[in-house]
């Protein structure tokens, strides 16, 4: 071989080698791209599969809230609890019945022959009974008319048990204490208003009953 002259056979071999290496590199890069593309598709498919068809994220039916809202009143009625629209009238009716029986008892200084216990819880009944016993010991009874004007100020039908508060304006101007030993009517205590505030708390079990009753003769109404 002459100096400076490239052997054509050797150059062709080198060229073939270079082409083969280049082809392998291109196939390798294509494989990487293909594998990455497949992984990306898999992620996209997985993302689509976790959309609205996923039961865990599915929204409740349109009528679900309405159905839930109607369940409570039905269940309350089944347990005998008062409906909100009727509860206030029931509270006032129960309070008025208690008041009528209480007035009857104070006129006789005895609860005998009354239904007072039906409208009072044991604690409230004990307070009235103690007052009637005191009147008996003092020989006192009540005479005249006792007027009042009750209203429901709070009502919680959703509580367990349901509760209510009644504010009453009691008028004792025609209500006097009789001394049974002398037959005289005793004057009311000085400094106390003839029209004063009374407050009652009621609870609903089998029916509305008074749990607490108190009069404040220092608060006029």
The pLDDT value given to residue 166: 97
Rounded CA separation 91/82 (Å): 10
Q: Which CATH number fits domain 82-220: 2.40.40.20, 3.40.50.2300, 1.10.760.10, 3.10.450.240?
A: 3.10.450.240
Rounded to whole angstroms, what are the CA distances from 66 to 57, 69, 72, 78, 199?
Answer: 20, 5, 11, 19, 38
The pLDDT value given to residue 14: 53
Instruction: List for the chain the helix, strand, coil content (%; round to 5).
Output: 50, 25, 30
pLDDT-flagged residues of the chain (< 50): 1-13, 15-23, 25-78
CA 206 to chain CA centroid, nearest Å: 20
Domain range summary for the chain, segments of one domain joined by +: 9-44, 82-220
pTM given for the model: 0.61
Rounded CA separation 135/71 (Å): 51
Smallest CA-to-CA distance from 169 within 197, 207, 193 is with 197
Phi and psi, residue 181, nearest 5°: -80, -30
Helix (H) or strand (E) holding 39: helix 8-49
Phi and psi, residue 106, nearest 5°: -70, -25
Rounded to whole angstroms, what are the CA distances from 25 to 16, 29, 37, 85?
Answer: 14, 6, 18, 84
92 near 150, Cβ under 8 Å? yes
The pLDDT value given to residue 107: 92
Give per-residue pLDDT as tens, 15-68.
Answer: 334 444 444 544 444 443 333 343 333 332 333 343 444 444 444 444 443 333
């Amino acid at each position: 071989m002459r100096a400076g002259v490239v052997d054509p056979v050797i150059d062709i071999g080198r060229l073939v080698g270079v082409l083969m290496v280049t082809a392998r590199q291109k196939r390798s890069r294509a494989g990487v791209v293909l594998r990455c593309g497949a992984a990306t598709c898999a992620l996209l498919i997985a993302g689509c599969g976790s959309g609205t068809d996923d039961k865990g994220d599915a929204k409740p039916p349109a009528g679900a809230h309405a159905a839930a809202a109607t369940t409570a009143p039905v269940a309350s009625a089944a347990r005998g609890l008062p409906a909100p629209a009727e509860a206030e009238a029931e509270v006032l009716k129960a309070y008025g019945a208690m008041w009528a029986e209480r007035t009857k008892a104070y006129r006789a200084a005895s609860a005998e022959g009354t239904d007072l216990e039906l409208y009072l819880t044991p604690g409230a009944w004990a307070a009235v009974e103690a007052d009637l016993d005191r009147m008996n010991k003092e020989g006192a009874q009540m005479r005249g008319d006792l007027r009042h004007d009750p209203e429901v100020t709070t009502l919680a039908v959703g509580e367990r048990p349901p509760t209510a508060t009644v504010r009453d304006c009691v008028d004792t101007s025609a209500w006097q204490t009789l001394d049974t030993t002398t037959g005289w009517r005793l004057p009311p205590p000085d400094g106390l208003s003839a029209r004063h505030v009374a407050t009652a708390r009621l609870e609903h079990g089998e029916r509305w009953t008074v749990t607490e009753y108190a009069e404040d003769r220092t608060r006029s109404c």
